[in-house]
Amino acid sequence: MPLDRPLLAFDTSAAHCAAALLWRGEIIAEAREPMAKGQAERLMPLIEEMLTSVGRNWRDLGALAVGVGPGNFTGIRISVAAARGLALGLGVPAVGVTSTEALANGQTTRIRVATPATRNALYVQDFDAGAPLGPIREAKPEDADFWPAPNVQPIGDWPETDRAIICPDPLARIRALAFVGAQKVAKGAPLPAPFYLRAADAAPPSDPPPVILDA
């Protein structure tokens, strides 16, 4: 269904809070603040400030798009929970967009996109004319199939190389997230859910719990 009200896109899956407002095919507002932590406290004020800057409020929104990763485990949960809560409260649809889908937006040829992972690895995914050719996977520079073939354009956060890399800036990525989100809303995509390629690194403490003595 076509959107007759603005779509709000936002993301905290990386070390930032980022948001954009898409209306009638154009980005009418955008905001981004780098931050390693504190996204939970800053996300809603940042969005509200952005809306106010163009004379909008929460009730003007017609849909939501949120970055679902892969990326920072806690950051993904912050944004997805916010999107699902807003969708329920405002009565509007919400969809999830992966970081690789956003990087592939607007590309018309064979590409391989990459975003940072942990342990000196990248999350990579191949696309052809915007359609995924396989799932997101984790790859390291020492892997035999890490670099794409010469006829495949690398896009995103690749290590330094003599190959020509397309690396959109952070604001370009949140704009792309908004455009992909609008396409997904039109197709009736389901509510967003966090995308985790693997479980979080956190583990229970190895020390035994304290003994509770009866009074």
Q: Which residue has the tokens 């390629």?
A: 197
SS3 80: helix
Mean pLDDT score of the chain, rounded to an integer?
Answer: 92
* Poorest-pLDDT segment among 25-34, 44-53, 205-214: 205-214
117-174: per-residue pLDDT in tens? Answer: 988 999 999 999 999 999 999 999 999 999 999 999 999 999 999 999 999 999 999 9
pTM of the complete model: 0.90
* % of the chain residues with pLDDT over 70: 91
Give the separation between CA 83 and CA 63, rounded to whole angstroms: 10
**What's residue 1's pLDDT?**
43
User: What is the per-residue burial (b if ≥16 Cβ within 10 Å, else e) of 128-145?
Assistant: eeeeeeeebeebeeeeee
**What's residue 207's pLDDT?**
55
| Residue-range domains of the chain with CATH | 7-99+169-187 (3.30.420.40), 101-156 (no CATH)
**What's residue 197's pLDDT?**
84
